[in-house]
Amino acid sequence: MLDLEGLQLTDEERRLLADPLVGGVIFFARNYQSREQLAELVSEVRKVRPGLLLAVDQEGGRVQRFREGFTRLPPMQRFLDGYRRDPAAALQLVTDAGWLMASEILAMDIDFSFAPVLDVDDDHCSVIADRAFSDKPEEVASLGRAFIAGMHEAGMAATGKHFPGHGAVTGDSHLVLPVDERPWDAVAARDWLPFERLAGDLDAVMPAHIVFEQLDSHPVGFSRFWLQEKLRGELGFDGVIFSDDLSMEGATVAGDYGSRAELALAAGCDMVLVCNNRPGALAVLDRLRALAPTPSVRLANMARRGHPDWQSLEASERWQRTREAIAAFAPGP
């Protein structure tokens, strides 16, 4: 999965997307000007390869790539106070929020948003913080299940991130390789718990670029221990495993771009992401041509399961009610 440079597809990108080793596109804020422009860009991508998986990070709060013309969702932690006051009402609203986010993305003919964040945090980790539902694992699991249910009601596959939890380290894995020094018991009692409880609800998982040094010497996304023994084996997870972005600093320990992709796939990832570095993406394609990997059959499960049109969505009572409720219950992004 790779990214695009701007608002329109370039000739080079058309050639890249035609390569059978490219399986998806992730959109960023730089690819968005208006819903009309995005619809045209998506249409152009679909003309090149109708079966490509199209994705975006549309979590809410700080991480919402499409803003003007879309519902501004709050950071997920904004729902927490309401959940502690009135759990049933908050869970219904979080379900509706998951449905609304997914419905708006699907209406643009994009397959999925990489959501929800299942890290356990409040403000310990700067890159997670209020992206997390809570700093208590049981609350993350409960609120995360509600958000996933809403995504599924809309017809969108859900991706839990960042397995097995990014919230207990201070370092931002975009900038450094964080090291978690805790023993297994401490990880299992906190960060692991939401993934353990929601493994059967999730369609995909994205591992963290973190080393849990008492458990394995490799970052999670390059670790057979984490992806095969713990995720596939212990949790019985049979969904898609996406690497986190191989351009992040936390991935550099695995070597050059080709080596990072090879190690991630060998560890058990079904698809690798290379964002914001076109030479890196080209290097990965060169390595994959030499490896000739068999495409993962699991990836087909990430394709959109519904495709509402925007006009019908705006006319729906649930969309209107949810927007109003979010503004009143969790105001402001």
Residues taking part in catalysis: 174, 244
Instruction: Report the residue count for the chain.
Output: 333
226 DSSP 8-state letter: I
For 34, the 3-state DSSP assignment is coil
Residue 263 backbone dihedrals phi, psi, to 5 degrees? -70, -40
Among 35, 33, 113, 29, which residue's Cα sits nearest to residue 76?
113
Residue 168 backbone dihedrals phi, psi, to 5 degrees? -100, 0
- Beta-bridge partner residues of 142: none
In sequence order, what DSSP letters do the residues of 177-220 get, joined into one string? --EE---HHHHHHTTHHHHHHHTTT-SEEEE-S-EETTT-SS-G
Q: How many Cβ atoms from other residues are within 10 Å of residue 46's Cβ?
A: 14
- Cis bond before residue 124 (omega within 30° of 0): no
Q: What's the rounded Cα separation, in Å, for the pair 230 and 220?
A: 11
Q: What's the rounded Cα separation, in Å, for the pair 314 and 43?
A: 21
